[in-house]
Amino acid sequence: MTLLSESTIPGAEEGLFCRHDVTKETLLSFYHGLNVPYDCDYTQELYAFDEVKFYLLLSRRTLNNTFKEKKILNNVYKIMIESNDTYYIDLPLEVGRDTSLYRASLGHKVNHSFRPNCRYRRMQHPRWGEIVAIFSSRDIRAGEELLCNYGYEVDKYLVPAWYRDLWQRVQGDMLTGHHRA
Query: Is residue 139 within 8 Å of residue 24, measured between CB atoms?
Result: yes
Is there a catalytic annotation at residue 108? yes
Which residues make beta-bridge pairs with 6?
Answer: 14
- 163 backbone dihedrals φ, ψ, rounded to 5°: -70, -45
| Catalytic site includes residue 31 | yes
Query: Is 161 in contact with 169 (CB distance < 8 Å)?
Result: no
Catalytic residue among 112, 125, 152, 178: 112
Which value, in Å, is the radius of gyration of the alpha carbons in the chain? Answer: 17
Interatomic CA distance for residues 83 and 137, integer angstroms: 21
Q: How far apart are CA 87 and CA 37, in angstroms?
A: 4
Q: DSSP letter for 103, please.
A: -
Type of residue numbered 125: H
Catalytic, out of 31, 77, 88, 102: 31
List 77, 88, 102, 120, catalytic entry:
120
Q: Which of the residues 87, 150, 152, 163 is marked catalytic?
A: 150
Q: Which residues have a catalytic role annotated?
A: 31, 108, 112, 120, 150
